[in-house]
Amino acid sequence: MEKGKLNGKIIVIVALLSFFCVFLGQFIYNKYYLLNPLEKQLQSLPQVQQVIIEKTEESVVKVSLTKVSNLASSYQKIEKIVKKKIGKKAKIEIRGQPNDNLKEIERQMSFSLQEAALLGNYAHMDKKLQEIAQKNKLSKWKVYLDQENIYIQLFDGNNYLYEVVPRRGEKNVERS
Whole-angstrom distance, CA of residue 52 vs CA of residue 54: 7
Look at residue 171 in the predicted model and tell me its pLDDT: 46
38: pLDDT strictly greater than 50: yes
Strand pairing partners for 55? 59
The larger pLDDT score, comparing residue 38 to residue 69, is at 69
Main-chain phi, psi angles of 174, to 5 degrees:
-110, 150
Provide the residue range defining the domain that includes 137. 1-176
Look at residue 95 in the predicted model and tell me its pLDDT: 94
Q: In 3D, which of 113, 104, 42 has the Cα closest to residue 78?
A: 42
pTM above 0.85, yes or no: no
The number of folded domains in the chain is 1
